[in-house]
């Protein structure tokens, strides 16, 4: 079975902090009735909808999205169900899960069941980021629009991206049971950019 875990990109969609500048916008540049073809242009923030962060997003001089190893989000992965949490994900929440080095992990939380931006969205606590870094995971996916919130120093991003861990944000996991899958999530080949929208799917093993 294949699960599409991408958020549809459309005007009026839920975006980070409900910021107007993060709303996507489409413009028709050709319509069939007048031009005998349909063609449109999209204007969007690179972190709107389901997307990947590259180290350059939060690490000065970090790698850009076009240089990321595609294996970060291609291959076996595990979905962990943390939907009972009503606060940040901590190290204590992760320790019983048996996460291993080199693993691709996706965290399913109550975020997946919310259709609008919630300023109290579930994200990672700093000690959880340090724990995942020290384990040596390959990549991290979460159903939040960001892996952190409320920290002007962006410590969680800096820890995770600084360790070269792949970051997938705003995955939609409401219909996905916990367990083992194969993931395929690819960024656009955007030269020198700090992130990219992506289409992300999971396939049962």
Residue 51 a catalytic site member: no
Q: Kindly report the number of other CB atoms within 10 A of residue 187's CB atom.
A: 24
* pLDDT for position 161: 98
Q: Give how many domains the chain has, as a whole number.
A: 1
* pLDDT for position 64: 98
This prediction has a pTM of: 0.96
Quote the crossing angle between the two packed helices 126-135 and 155-162, to the nearest 10°: 10
Report the alpha-carbon distance of residue 59 to residue 63 in Å, rounded: 8
Q: Is residue 13 part of a domain?
A: no
* pLDDT for position 117: 97
Q: Is residue 12 part of a domain?
A: no
Active-site entry in 47, 51, 57, 157: 57
* pLDDT for position 92: 98
pLDDT, one tens digit per residue, over 137-150 is 999 999 999 999 99
User: Residue ranges of the chain with pLDDT lower than 70?
Assistant: none
Domain CATH for 113: 3.50.30.50
Please say whether the beta carbons of 96 and 122 come within 8 A: no
At residue 180, φ and ψ (nearest 5 deg) are -100, 140
Q: Is residue 17 part of a domain?
A: no
* pLDDT for position 190: 98
Show the domain range for 73: 2-7+46-204
Q: Is residue 136 part of a domain?
A: yes
Please say whether the beta carbons of 126 and 132 come within 8 A: no
Residue linked to tokens 């449109």: 40
Q: Is residue 131 part of a domain?
A: yes
pLDDT, one tens digit per residue, over 61-92 is 999 999 999 999 999 999 999 999 999 999 99
């Amino acid at each position: 079975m294949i699960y599409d875990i991408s958020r549809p990109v459309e005007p009026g969609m839920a975006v980070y902090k409900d910021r107007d500048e993060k709303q996507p916008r489409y413009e028709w540049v050709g319509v069939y009735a007048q031009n005998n073809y349909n063609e449109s242009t999209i204007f969007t923030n690179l972190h709107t909808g389901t997307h990947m962060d590259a180290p350059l997003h939060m690490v000065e001089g970090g790698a850009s999205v076009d240089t990321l190893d595609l294996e970060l989000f291609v291959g076996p992965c595990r979905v962990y169900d943390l939907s009972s949490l009503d606060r940040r994900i901590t190290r204590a929440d992760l320790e019983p899960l048996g996460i291993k080095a080199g693993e691709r992990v996706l965290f399913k939380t109550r975020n997946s069941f919310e259709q609008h931006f919630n300023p109290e969205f579930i994200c990672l606590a700093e000690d959880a980021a340090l724990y995942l870094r020290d384990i040596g995971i390959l990549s991290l996916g979460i159903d939040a629009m960001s892996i952190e919130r409320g920290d002007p120093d962006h410590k969680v991003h800096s820890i995770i991206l600084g360790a070269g861990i792949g970051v997938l944000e705003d995955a939609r996991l409401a219909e996905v049971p916990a367990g083992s899958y194969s993931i395929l999530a690819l960024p656009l080949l955007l030269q020198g950019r700090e992130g990219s929208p992506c289409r992300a799917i999971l396939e049962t093993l």
